[in-house]
Structure formats: C-alpha cells, structure tokens
C-alpha cells in the first residue's frame, strides 16, 4: 500500500497517523488541516484545478483512488435526476439505452470529455422530463420511508426477542439455584439415603426440562395473519376516508310554477311566436354571464301575468 | 316571483280600512305613551288625519327628491323608496320619527337594494343644508328603517310587468305602435305612488291598470286583448281584475295634493309634539347619545369632538328595541 499523502502539505500517514484526507467534487484530495486553512471563509478554489469549491462539500475520502470518489460523487448527482425505472420504459431495449446514456454521461464528466456538451444534454433531459423526475423523486422518498419503517419494525422485534430470552435465562438460573438449595436442605435435614434423594431430584429436573420442551415459546399475537400489525394502517400516506352521515336520498320534485294568473307562454313559444323580436338582443358580455334575451323576455311575461287573478281576501297584519 | 314573495304574504292588504286602522292604532299608541307631555291640551298631538296629510306632502317631496337626484336614478329605485316609506309609516307614526329623516333614509336604502350604486357622500350632495348632519341622520336611521320593514327588502315594482304586457301586446294584439302608450303609463305609475295602491294590489294589476289607462288616453281599446287573450281560459276571474283595475284608477283619480298652508301648520305642531328622544336637534337626543357613548367606551362625557355618526349603529339598535 502506497503511503497516502496530502498533495499540498506533503504530510503522510506515517508522519501523522491521524491524517484525514478529504475530497471534493473535483476529485482532488486535501488533508483536513489544509481544508481548514484554505477554506476558512467557507468557499475557495481547488489548489490543483482552480475549480471553485465549497467547504461543506468536502467529504472524508473512502477510496484510495480519489478519482473513484469523484465518480461516486458525479454518479450520485446524475442519478438524482436520471431516476427513471424500468417500468417507465416501453421495452427492455429502451431501458438499456437509457442506462448506457447514464454511463456515458458519468464517464464523460469523470474524464473531462465534452463537459459543456454533456451538461447541456443533462439540462435538456431535466427540462424534458421534469414531471417524471419529480414523480419518481417522491416515489423514492416513499420507498425509503417504507424501508425505514420496516427496519424499525425489525429492530423492535429483535429487541423484544432479546428481552424475552434474557428473562427466560434469568428465570432458569433462579430456578436452578432454588433446586440446588432445596436439594441441600433435603440432604441436611431428612434422614433418607443421600443417593436416593439425589436421584429423585435429578429425575424431577429431567421431567421439568421435558415439560418445558413441550411448551412452545409463548408468542404474543400482535399482527394479523397477513403480517399487518394491529392498529397500524398499511399505508400511512393516506388519510382515512371521513365517515359521512348519510341522510335520506334526494328525491327530485319538479318545480311548481305558481302564477295565480294566466299561464305564461313556454320558452319554446317565446321564440316561435315572435315575442323575442320585441326586446333587444343580449350583448356578448351578458351572454357570457349566462343571460339570454329569451330569459329576460320570459321573466317580463311571467311577472306580467302573475297574480292577475288576485283579489283581496281576509285582512293581514302589517309586517308579520 | 311575486306569488311566493313576502310582499304578497305580509305587505299586501285587503282594503283601505285596514290600512287606516293600522295608522290610527299607531297614533293612539303614541298619544297614550306621551300623555303627560300634552298637559291636558286637547290639540297637542297630531290627529290621524293630520298625520295622513303630512305624509302625503312628504310623498310629494320624496318624488321631487328622486326626480332631482344626481345621478339620475332608475324608476325602480323610486318605486322601492315609496314602498319603504309607506310600509314604515304603517308601523310608526310621524310623531315618533320625522318623515323628513325617514324619507332620505328610504331613498338611500332603496338605492342599495336596487343596486343603484351611490356613496353616502354622493347621496348627501343632493340634500340641501348641513350635509354632515344629513349623513349622520341617514346612517343612524338606516338600521332602524330596515328593522321596521322587518328586513323584507325585496320590492316587486310594476315596471317589469308593464314591459311584459307591452311585449305581449306587440306580439299578440293588432294594436298599432304600442310604444306611444309609454308616456301615459309612466305618468300613471308616478301617480299611483302617491296612493296606497301598491299596498292593496299586485304589481301586475297595477301594470295592467296603467296600460289600460294609457290605452284609453290614446283612444285605443284593449278590452278585447284582456278578455279574449289574457283571460280566455279563466273568464270567471275577469270581474275580480276589472274591479281591481277600476279601484286603482279611482284611487289615482281621487288623489289630490294636500294644501300647503295646512301642512305648514301641521309641521309646526309636529315640532312641539314629536318625540324629542328621536330629534337630532334636541338636548334630550344629544344627552342620550352622550350617555350611550360613555357607557359603551370609557370616554369622558365632556369630550368636545363628539360626533353622532360614530355611534350611529348603537342608537339605531336602541331605537329598534324600543
């Protein structure tokens, strides 16, 4: 293994065992001390390639070859946008072409080939597929969420099992101690033959062990047979449908026109018999509001004929 | 829809005697309440007849006010204002609320209800005299008025029925140029505003009466239109309509303007016997407002910049509850 060294201050792992090498998006390494020194203000340029860098983008170098770090970085960035899945494509061939495109982009960016053109290609892709990208992002988010939930569940189960085992162990130990104590007391106080007592106790212990074996470990039931936990909805992203009080069903009753006068002409007659020709046509603005001259005409006629039959009847109180 | 309206249900009355009964009742009630003010004088209060004359005069003022109003108001605002004015004084006496104040308030509310958009400043520009005071009076009486109208604000005026009749006549009868009826119709409707016709008959009957009256002025005869086209399927209802039209026309014919001198005398009398608690010029009114004002907020009573409009809503609600 070659000695790792900071290219700037030439410190090596040998001279400083706590040396931490950091790497940024350009793929050039720097030791932690140099990063602290150079990027005091939060941002600066790489001493080797002069690319402007931010301090908080520095990561500890995991791979020996800094170029691998660079590629990992680039790949992560590209895959954030190139997040289509196989389901998004019509055929396997298209999907393969897509994967190949990703690889070529990553390769170009890693090796500084046609950088500008490649970036343009990425931009164009982002523009064209904005919706798909956004949708897949949220889907990825949800997948991650579900995964996390599953892990959490497993962890909880694991813990419960551990605890159970511990308790069982403890119980066992206690019992053994109790048995031993009983045996000794028996030996001390009873006048029977010691060998007989020992064999009696051994038999008893054997019997108990067998009983325990027959008893399967108690498992508390806290899930349905489908594996869904009690009281936990399968998909937490949906709200439950609110229960609505359903009243009696609506029954349509046709409106009754109370005229207390001669019947006004039906809408068909208003145009057919020429009523319409005696009022002005509606303006486009009025028409846009849903008003037609037929309506206005009908209303005037209706109001003219309503309550023509009215005759004064018994008295009424004012304003009641 | 007039047949299902509050106007038909609550504000169309059987006959003039009934209206008269309401007015007399309001008058007696007021006199009962303020008996001690008269100090035994017989003619201290207005009689129902005097009230009637006074209100007739103020109806003339109302029509003048609406005619001179700037910007010109549509006919339906005038009709609605008249309705409000008449309805208000069925349940109140002019001794309690001076018709001068109610008149302006009626027109203001009618402008709003009929969607004739004028601001209060534009509105008071049409009033002679102190405009600030007029603003105060109109705004403080607004809630009182609509409360007394029982919040029934929709008014069915005869104007749309008239349009309907004209369309129908143009379409179905063979009358020559029905448009020439219009001036007569308009003047007839203006005349009906001075009568109680709108409290006794339906808007369509008023409209038909106006059309028939105009036709007779133009030496035309629309009788066959009414009998053969309108009532062809309900001949038995015809006498009721003829009766209504006749009554409306008689009412309009019999109307006469009140005598100016008599009205002046009545107004003088009113200045003495009116309810001082509702007179914005009286000390009692100002005192009451001041008390209200200081009760509501803890502002010193001798606040010089005291303004009536600030408490308009409180006073109106108080008036209603009285």
Shared-domain flag, residues B138 and B165: no
| Domain finish residue from B254, B271, B301 | B254
Could you report the per-residue pLDDT of B68-77, keeping only the tens digit for each? Answer: 998 899 999 9
**Stronger pLDDT, B41 or B29, i.e. the higher one:** B29
Instruction: Give me B22's structure tokens.
Output: 């309401």
Across the A:B interface, residue pairs with CB atoms under 8 Å apart total 126
Shared-domain flag, residues B22 and B113: yes
Nearest CB among A260, A300, A308 relative to B208 is that of A308
Instruction: Give me A68's structure tokens.
Output: 């691998």
Counted residue by residue, chain A has a size of: 320
Nearest CB among B14, B167, B233 relative to A262 is that of B233
> Measured between alpha carbons, how far is A301 from B171 in angstroms, rounded to an integer?
11
Could you report the per-residue pLDDT of B209-245, keeping only the tens digit for each? Answer: 999 999 999 998 888 888 888 888 888 888 889 999 9
Contacts of A307 in chain B (CB under 8 A): 2-3, 8, 202-205
Q: Is residue B19 part of a domain?
A: yes
> Measured between alpha carbons, how far is B95 from B52 in angstroms, rounded to an integer?
12
Percent of chain A surpassing pLDDT 70: 88
Q: In this complex, is the C-beta atom of B22 within 8 Å of any C-beta atom belonging to chain A? A: yes
Strand, helix or coil for residue A23: strand
Reference B73, options B13, B202, B141, B159; nearest CA is B159
Q: Is residue B298 part of a domain?
A: no
Domain coverage including residue B56: 12-149
Contacts of A260 in chain B (CB under 8 A): 3
Cα B242 to Cα A59, B88, B165, B234: the distances in Å are 102, 30, 16, 13
Shared-domain flag, residues B24 and B119: yes
Q: Is residue B291 part of a domain?
A: no
Q: Do B164 and A305 touch (CB under 8 A)?
A: yes
Shared-domain flag, residues B172 and B239: yes
- Tell whether the model's pLDDT for residue B291 goes beyond 50: yes
- pLDDT at residue number B186: 94
- Tell whether the model's pLDDT for residue A245 goes beyond 80: no
Instruction: Give me B43's structure tokens.
Output: 């003619």
Query: Which residues 92-151 on chain B approach chain A with CB closer than 8 angstroms?
Result: 148-150
- pLDDT at residue number A228: 65
Strand, helix or coil for residue B102: helix
> Measured between alpha carbons, how far is B53 from B75 in angstroms, rounded to an integer?
25
Query: Which residues 53-92 on chain B approach chain A with CB closer than 8 angstroms?
Result: 87, 90-91
Instruction: Give me B38's structure tokens.
Output: 């008269």
The CATH code of the domain that includes B44 is 1.10.472.10
Chain A residues with CB within 8 Å of chain B CB: 258-263, 273-275, 277-279, 297, 299-320
Q: How many domains does chain B have?
A: 2
Tell me how close the Cα of A286 comes to any Cα of chain B, in angstroms.
Answer: 17
Q: Do B10 and A303 touch (CB under 8 A)?
A: no
Cα A117 to Cα A5, A51, A109, B66, B270: the distances in Å are 35, 18, 10, 79, 97
- DSSP state, residue A266: P
Residue A275's pLDDT band (cuts 50, 70, 90): confident
Reference A34, options A63, A4, A10; nearest CA is A10
Q: Is residue B228 part of a domain?
A: yes
Those residues whose C-beta lies under 8 Å from the C-beta of residue B22, and which sit 6 or more positions away, are A318, B90, B91
Judged on CB neighbours under 10 Å (0-12, 13-18, 19+), B108 is buried
Reference A302, options B163, B174, B234; nearest CA is B163
> Measured between alpha carbons, how far is B85 from B54 in angstroms, rounded to an integer?
13
Query: Which residues 147-206 on chain B approach chain A with CB closer than 8 angstroms?
Result: 148-150, 152, 156, 160-168, 170-172, 200-205
Could you report the per-residue pLDDT of A99-148, keeping only the tens digit for each? Answer: 998 898 888 888 888 888 888 888 888 888 888 888 888 888 888 888 99
- pLDDT at residue number B300: 47
Contacts of A302 in chain B (CB under 8 A): 164
Question: Using CA atoms in the order B223, B227, B229, B233, what is the torsion angle rounded to 10 degrees?
Answer: 170
Q: Is residue B268 part of a domain?
A: no
Q: Which residues, in sequence order, are bridge partners of residue A223? A: A229
- pLDDT at residue number A218: 55
| pTM score | 0.58
Q: Is residue B22 part of a domain?
A: yes
Could you report the per-residue pLDDT of B52-90, keeping only the tens digit for each? Answer: 999 999 999 999 999 999 889 999 999 999 999 999 999
- Tell whether the model's pLDDT for residue A315 goes beyond 70: no
Q: Are B194 and B59 in contact (CB under 8 A)?
A: yes
E-strand stretches of B22-167 = none
> Measured between alpha carbons, how far is A232 from B180 in angstroms, rounded to an integer?
82
Q: Do A307 and B163 touch (CB under 8 A)?
A: no
Shared-domain flag, residues B91 and B173: no
Judged on CB neighbours under 10 Å (0-12, 13-18, 19+), A12 is middle
* Residue at token pair 């869904």: A228
| Domain finish residue from B254, B279, B307 | B254
- pLDDT at residue number A238: 66
Which H/E stretch holds residue B271? Answer: helix B260-273
Q: Burial letters for A26-64: b for 16+ Cβ neighbours within 10 Å, e otherwise?
A: bbbbbbbbbbeebbeeeeeebeeeeeebebeebeebeee
Shared-domain flag, residues B130 and B212: no
> Measured between alpha carbons, how far is A41 from A59 in angstroms, rounded to an integer?
17
* Residue at token pair 């001949």: B235
Mean pLDDT, all residues of chain B: 86
- Tell whether the model's pLDDT for residue A201 goes beyond 50: yes
Shared-domain flag, residues B120 and B245: no
Q: Is residue B5 part of a domain?
A: no
Q: Do B161 and A303 touch (CB under 8 A)?
A: yes
Shared-domain flag, residues B137 and B70: yes
Residue B284's pLDDT band (cuts 50, 70, 90): confident
Q: Is residue B114 part of a domain?
A: yes
Residue B313 CA neighbour count, 13 Å, CB half: 2
Phi-psi region of A99 (alpha: psi -120 to 50; beta: other; left: phi over 0): alpha
- pLDDT at residue number B305: 45
CA A37 to chain centre: 41
Contacts of A301 in chain B (CB under 8 A): 164, 167-168
Q: Which of A258, A281, A308 to mutate to test the interface with B (most CBs of B within 10 A)?
A: A308
Contacts of B232 in chain A (CB under 8 A): 262
Residue B193's pLDDT band (cuts 50, 70, 90): very high
Q: Do B241 and A308 touch (CB under 8 A)?
A: yes
Percent of chain B surpassing pLDDT 90: 59
Strand, helix or coil for residue A29: strand
Shared-domain flag, residues B46 and B83: yes
Which H/E stretch holds residue A75? Answer: helix A66-81
Contacts of B160 in chain A (CB under 8 A): 299-300, 303-304
> Measured between alpha carbons, how far is A118 from A138 in angstroms, rounded to an integer?
26
Strand, helix or coil for residue B46: coil
> Measured between alpha carbons, how far is B311 from B297 in angstroms, rounded to an integer?
11
Instruction: Please provide the DSSP assignment of B209-228 as one string.
Output: HHHHHHHHHTT---HHIIII
> Measured between alpha carbons, how far is B170 from A54 in angstroms, rounded to an integer?
86
Contacts of B205 in chain A (CB under 8 A): 307-308, 310
Q: Which of B22, B88, B164, B179 to mutate to test the interface with A (most CBs of A within 10 A)?
A: B164
Shared-domain flag, residues B37 and B128: yes
Contacts of A309 in chain B (CB under 8 A): 234, 237, 240-241
| Domain finish residue from B254, B285, B306 | B254
- Tell whether the model's pLDDT for residue B315 goes beyond 50: no
Shared-domain flag, residues B49 and B123: yes
Percent of chain A surpassing pLDDT 90: 11
Q: Complex ipTM above 0.85?
A: no
Q: Are B311 and B292 in contact (CB under 8 A)?
A: yes
- DSSP state, residue B297: S
Q: In this complex, is the C-beta atom of B234 within 8 Å of any C-beta atom belonging to chain A? A: yes
- DSSP state, residue A59: E
What value, to the nearest 5°, has the Cα angle with vertex B247 and ends B244 and B248?
A: 85
Shared-domain flag, residues B109 and B191: no
Q: In what order do the strands lie in the sheet with A21-23?
A: A29-31, A21-23, A59-60
- Tell whether the model's pLDDT for residue A1 goes beyond 70: no
Nearest CB among B3, B207, B243 relative to A259 is that of B3
């Amino acid at each position: 293994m070659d000695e790792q060294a900071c290219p700037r201050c030439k410190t090596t792992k040998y001279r400083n065992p706590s040396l931490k090498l950091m790497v940024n998006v350009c793929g050039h390494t720097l030791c932690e001390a140099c990063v602290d020194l150079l990027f005091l203000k939060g941002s600066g340029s790489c001493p080797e390639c002069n690319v402007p860098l931010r301090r908080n983008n520095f990561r500890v170098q995991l791979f020996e070859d800094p170029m691998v770090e660079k590629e990992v970085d680039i790949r992560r960035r590209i895959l954030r946008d190139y997040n289509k899945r196989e389901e998004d494509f019509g055929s396997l061939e298209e999907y393969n072409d897509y994967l190949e495109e990703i690889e070529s982009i990553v390769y170009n960016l890693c090796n500084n080939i046609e950088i500008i053109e490649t970036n343009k290609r990425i931009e164009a892709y982002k523009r064209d597929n904005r919706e798909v990208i956004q949708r897949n992002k949220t889907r990825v988010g949800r997948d991650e969420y579900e995964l996390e939930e599953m892990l959490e569940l497993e962890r909880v189960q694991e813990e419960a099992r551990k605890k159970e085992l511990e308790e069982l162990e403890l119980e066992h130990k206690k019992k053994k101690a109790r048995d031993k104590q009983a045996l000794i007391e028996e030996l001390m106080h009873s006048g029977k033959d010691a060998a007989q007592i020992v064999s009696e106790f051994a038999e008893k212990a054997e019997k108990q062990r067998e009983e325990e074996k027959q008893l399967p470990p108690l498992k508390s039931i806290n899930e349905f047979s489908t594996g869904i936990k009690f009281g936990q909805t399968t998909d937490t992203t949906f709200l439950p449908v609110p229960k609505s009080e359903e009243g009696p069903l609506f029954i349509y009753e046709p409106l009754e026109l109370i005229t207390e006068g001669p019947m006004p002409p039906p809408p068909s007659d208003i145009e057919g018999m020429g009523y319409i020709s005696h009022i002005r046509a509606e303006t486009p603005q009025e028409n846009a509001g849903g008003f037609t001259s037929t309506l206005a005409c009908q209303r005037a006629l209706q109001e003219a004929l309503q309550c023509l039959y009215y005759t004064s009847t018994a008295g009424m109180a004012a304003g009641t | 829809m007039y047949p299902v309206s509050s106007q038909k249900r609550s504000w169309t009355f059987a006959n003039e005697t009934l209206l008269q009964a309401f007015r007399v009742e309001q008058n007696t009630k007021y006199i009962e309440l303020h008996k001690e003010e008269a100090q035994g004088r017989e003619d201290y209060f207005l009689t129902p007849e005097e009230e009637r004359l006074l209100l007739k005069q103020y109806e003339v003022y109302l029509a003048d006010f609406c005619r001179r109003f700037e910007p010109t108001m549509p006919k339906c605002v005038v009709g609605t204002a008249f309705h409000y004015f008449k309805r208000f004084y069925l349940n109140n006496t002019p001794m309690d609320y001076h018709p001068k104040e109610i008149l302006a308030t009626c027109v203001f509310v009618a402008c709003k209800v009929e969607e004739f958009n004028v601001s209060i400043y534009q509105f008071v520009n049409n009033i002679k005299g102190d405009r600030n005071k007029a603003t105060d009076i109109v705004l403080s009486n607004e809630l009182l008025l609509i409360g007394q109208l029982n919040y029934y604000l929709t008014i069915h005026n005869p104007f749309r029925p008239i349009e309907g009749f004209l369309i129908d006549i143009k379409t179905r009868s063979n009358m020559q140029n029905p448009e020439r009826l219009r001036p007569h119709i308009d003047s007839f409707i203006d005349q009906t505003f001075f009568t109680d016709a709108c409290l006794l008959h339906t808007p369509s009957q008023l409209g038909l009466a106006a059309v028939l009256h105009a036709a007779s002025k133009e030496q035309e005869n629309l009788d066959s239109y009414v009998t053969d086209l309108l009532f062809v399927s309900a001949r038995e209802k015809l006498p009721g309509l003829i009766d209504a039209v006749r009554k409306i026309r008689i009412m309009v014919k019999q109307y006469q303007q009140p005598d100016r001198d008599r009205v002046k005398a009545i107004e003088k009398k009113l200045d003495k016997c009116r309810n001082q608690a509702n007179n914005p010029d009286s000390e009692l009114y100002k005192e009451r407002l001041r008390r209200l004002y200081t009760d509501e907020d803890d502002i010193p009573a001798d606040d010089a910049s005291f303004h009536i409009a600030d408490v308009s809503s409180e006073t109106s609600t108080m008036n209603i509850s009285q």
